Amino acid sequence: MSETLKREAAARAIELVEPGMRLGLGTGSTARHFVALLGDRVRQGLHVVGVPTSEETRAQAEAEGIRLTTLDETPRLDLTVDGADELDDRLRLIKGGGGALLREKIVAAASARMVVIADASKRVAGLGRFPLPVEVVPFGLAATQAAVEKIAAHFGSQGAVTLRRAGAVPFVTDGGHYILDIAFGVIHEPETLATALNAVPGVMEHGLFIGMCSTAFLATEGGVVVIEN
């Protein structure tokens, strides 16, 4: 996806921002455009407050001069704008390609509205082409991975469950956790899979965002397509 298209999707989401709003700030290359555009608006005098979904977004938002808060100070947010790795027509999402899924889900759950910005290539008929990220605690990794592998096989995974790496070492999330990526191909029952993964001790969260997103702005060469739920 070109940076121009990402920015167009982000620009549509900026139109939803009103003075005084409490915002969740997503993570990733598309959300980065939203934070940059929000910074422009703030410098023009807009007053909002934001909760970043990653340390990366925190650094960008601070550099943009956006006033930040925490969910401890501000437990309810008006609007979260974030990217996605995949979405279907019911606005079920796979997120976590950037490794921020736990904070992203906590922030989205605290928001009255979650809006996804993406390019139309992220839209799929059935979720699962993108490997599903599962955030796990390092303690007991092999046991947790074995439990996740069993669930993956039960739900039709044709591929591997892989520990995400950053070079020679495991990738570590902002929360100090690891990520297992499950190669599914197609996920036939996302809701049931989500429930099964949530029941595994050691699993902090998974990248299925179901019933959370109400609007998606999908940028195409011909304009921005809107999906509402």
Q: Which residues are annotated as a binding site for substrate?
A: 27-30, 82-85, 95-98, 122
Q: How far apart are CA 19 and CA 170, in angstroms?
A: 41
> What size, in residues, is the chain?
229
* 104 is known as an active-site residue: yes
Determine phi and psi for 18, rounding to 5 degrees: -120, 155
Positions that interact with ligand 5RP (CB under 6 A): 26-31, 82-85, 95-101, 104
CA distance 104 to 61: 15
Which residues, including other chains, have CB under 8 Å from residue 132's CB and lie 6 or more apart?
94, 96, 181, 182, 184, 187, 206, 207, 208
Q: Which is nearer to ligand 5RP, 54 or 144 (CB)?
A: 54
**What is the spatial distance between Cα 98 and Cα 89, in angstroms, rounded to a whole number?**
22
- For ligand 5RP, which is the closer residue by CB, 22 or 122? 122
Report the nearest approach of ligand 5RP to the CB of residue 69 (Å): 21
CB of 33 to ligand 5RP, least distance (A): 9
Q: Nearer to ligand 5RP by C-beta: 157 or 173?
A: 173
Residue ranges of the annotated binding site are: 27-30, 82-85, 95-98, 122
As given in the structure block, the two tokens for residue 224 are 């921005």
Whichever of 66 and 101 has its CB closer to ligand 5RP, that residue is: 101
Find the shortest distance in angstroms from Cβ 62 to ligand 5RP. 19
The CB density around residue 103, as the number of other CB atoms within 10 Å, is 24
* Spatial separation of the C-alpha atoms in residues 33 and 3, rounded to whole Å: 8
SS3 142: helix
Catalytic residue among 8, 64, 86, 104: 104
- The minimum distance between CB 19 and ligand 5RP, in angstroms, equals 26
Positions marked active-site? 104
